[in-house]
Structure 1
Amino acid sequence: MSSKKPVVIVTGGADGFGSAIVDRFSSEGCNVLVIDVNKEKGDTQASKDQNVRFIHGDVTLRKTWEQTLELAQQEFGRLDTVVNNAAICYDPSPVHTLDISLYDKVFNINVKPIFLSVQVIAPYMLECGSGVFVNISSTGYTRPRSGFAFYNASKAAVTTATRTMALEYAPIIRFNCIAPTVGNTTMLLRSIGGDDETAQKMKKLLSVIPMGRVTEPADVSNAVWYLASDQSSFITGTLLEVDGGRGV
């Protein structure tokens, strides 16, 4: 029997922006399937609310997406939205100092899951007659900072793929992106470097954000909720910058 509650998949939903996204959808009465490699944090996330189910899995593997879709169908009888949030960054470094394995890892985690999620889930949504994908991009694409060339490039790939798929799957499935600036998450210290100059680096970072602060997880979760809801039913192929004016 199909649940009346909307059903949402959130990748990387055990921490940071992902955790806030899960909390927002759950608070709105949705059933949420969280995919994350961190079992401890995933179990904690699921224990907070009966609307949340945790899948300990790797989003770079097709079988994880197949198993999650099967769970959504078996337990709730539906799937409405996919939020591709899982991503990694790295310590700021010029390209010639990076190992090729890091390049592979960044694109494998930041881009490949979007490809796999659409391959597995788009056919189901097409059959159902509706569906939404919200993919998390970054101002690393719109206003790149030095030291993150191929993180920025991975987010450019996310955005371009999302916009193209919005054309390919309209009018049945909507695809949109959100571009936060540096966020108040565990990635923050990695982005600015955790050393004696952190305070100065933070001051410099905030100086280029007109609103004078970093992106809070709630800023992102509010934007994701909007793009997944019927309030944005005529919006597809867009990049919503949640960046305090950084991209202006």
Structure 2
Amino acid sequence: MSASVTEAVAAVRADTAPLAGRTALVTGGSRGLGREIAIAFAAAGADVAVASRKKDACAALAEELSAATGRRVTAHAAHVGQWDQVGDLLDEVEHELGPVDVLVNNAGIAPTYPSLDQVSEELFDKVFAVNVKGPFRLTALAGRRMAGRGGGVVLNISSMGSGRPTAGDLPYTAAKAALNTLTAGFAQEYGPTVRVNTILAGPFATDISRSWDPDAVAAMARSWPLERVGEPAEIVGAALYLCGPHASYTTGALLAVDGGRLAAP
């Protein structure tokens, strides 16, 4: 049954802090897209755990963000590619902030290599460990706890490259394609109370982009509908939507935030 106009208007007006009362864990949260998501979630009313391999960077952001928002923001050191560290991370966050309601699997790596035949086993395993194994283990543990408590949200940060792989990033894009598959599987396993979705991120002007050839990127971008790379803050709207109350009927979804790259020829 549809809500009355009055009820619908009230629901929208009340949504000024869509994550109020929630606790969110953001991996890879000290820089890039993870940093923007952590900032947005605290601004939206959530207590936030910022995790990465470098605790000092997490602590610097946590201190600044807590002062700016008044929310509890904690810093955690963890390598999500290490199976045992994932469970310890979740336990540590829940000890300091309480049960995790929102999990953002953002940590990822995409090391370069000269050619496909020179990809080492170590590089291949490292890429899959961080981009697939870590999110699998963390979602399995956090999702089970969320379901037991009555609900929660998982957001995976994947790549539009999972649908447009190239020889230059094949281990990474293959790993992100696997992450897309995990999204569907976990949405089925932990539904109906836990929602699991993915953002297919396009090229963003994060610190990683400093190594890109600007002329080559500009030439490629001319064929994209928006003809440019994204600014990091432009990930925020999709993340808040998928983790907030207005996406209550959205799970197992892959949402492209890529300037139209996947829509381009």
* 1:186 equivalent in alignment to 2:207: yes
The residue that corresponds to 2:111 in the other structure is 90
Within-5 A mapping of 1:129-144:
129-144=150-165
Whether the 8 Å CA contact 1:89–1:187 is kept in 2: the answer is no
Taking only the aligned residue pairs, the percentage that are identical comes to 33
In the aligned structure 1, how far is the partner of 2:161 from the partner of 2:179?
11
1:38 to 29, 54, 58: 54
Whether the 8 Å CA contact 1:143–1:246 is kept in 2: the answer is no
Q: Deviations over 1:103-143 (max 9, x none)?
A: 11110111111111023212211110101110001011122
Q: Secondary structure at the match of 2:138?
A: helix
Number of matched pairs: 239
Structure 1 residue 66: deviation in Å? Answer: 2.8
TM-score by length of 2: 0.85
Within-5 A mapping of 1:205-216:
205-216=220-231
Query: Cα gap change, 1:234/1:138 in structure 2, threshold over 3 Å: closer, same or farther?
Result: same
Structure 1 residue 244: deviation in Å? Answer: 0.9
* 1:242 equivalent in alignment to 2:247: no
Structure 1 residue 169: deviation in Å? Answer: 1.7
* 1:68 equivalent in alignment to 2:83: no
CA RMSD of aligned residues (A): 1.7
The residue that corresponds to 2:242 in the other structure is 227
Structure 1 residue 173: deviation in Å? Answer: 1.0
**Bigger Rg, which one:** 2
Whether the 8 Å CA contact 2:23–2:47 is kept in 1: the answer is yes
1:169 to 190, 197, 201: 190
The residue that corresponds to 1:25 in the other structure is 41
Give 1:234's aligned amino acid: Y
In the aligned structure 1, how far is the partner of 2:83 from the partner of 2:172?
23
Give 2:196's aligned amino acid: F
1:56 to 77, 81, 86: 77
Q: Out of 63-72 and 52-61, give the one that drifted further.
A: 63-72
In the aligned structure 1, how far is the partner of 2:28 from the partner of 2:239?
14
1 or 2 for the larger relative contact order (CA 8 Å, sep ≥6)? 1
Query: Cα gap change, 1:110/1:246 in structure 2, threshold over 3 Å: closer, same or farther?
Result: same
The residue that corresponds to 2:17 in the other structure is none
Structure 1 residue 62: deviation in Å? Answer: 3.9
Q: Secondary structure at the match of 1:148?
A: helix
The residue that corresponds to 2:134 in the other structure is 113
* 1:151 equivalent in alignment to 2:172: yes
Unaligned runs of 5+ in 2: 1-19, 67-71
